[in-house]
A = this chain, B = another copy of it.
Amino acid sequence: MDVAPTTATTDRRLLRGERTRQAILTHASRLASAEGLEAVSLQRLAGDLGISKSGLFAHFGSKEELQLATIETASALFAEQVMEPAAAAPNGLERLRELAELFLRHVENGVYPGGCFFASVAAELDTHPGLVRDRALQLSDEWLQGLEAAIRDAQAEGAIDPAEDAQQLAFELDAYLLLANAQFVASPESGATDRARRALARRLEAAIS
Contact = CB atoms under 8 A, between A and B. Distances in A.
A126 B195 contact: no
Nearest to A34: B127
A168 interface: yes
A194 B195 CA distance: 24
Contacts of A186: 122, 126, 137, 140
Interface stretch (A13-21, A45-53, A149-157, A174-182): A174-182
A34 B36 CA distance: 13
Interface string A138-169: 00100000000000000000000000000110
- With most chain B CB atoms within 10 A of its CB, the pick from A115, A120, A171 is A171
> Copy number in this complex?
2
A108 to B, nearest CB: 15
A122 B182 contact: yes
Given A36-B36, A120-B123, A172 B176 contact: yes
A185 B120 contact: no
A69 interface: no
Contacts of A187: 137
A119 interface: yes
Interface of A: 34-36, 38, 113-115, 119-120, 122-124, 126-127, 137, 140, 167-168, 171-172, 174-176, 178-179, 182, 185-187, 192, 195-196, 198-199, 206
16 contacts: A34-B127, A36-B36, A36-B38, A36-B124, A114-B127, A123-B182, A124-B124, A126-B186, A127-B185, A140-B186, A167-B195, A168-B195, A171-B199, A175-B176, A175-B196, A178-B182
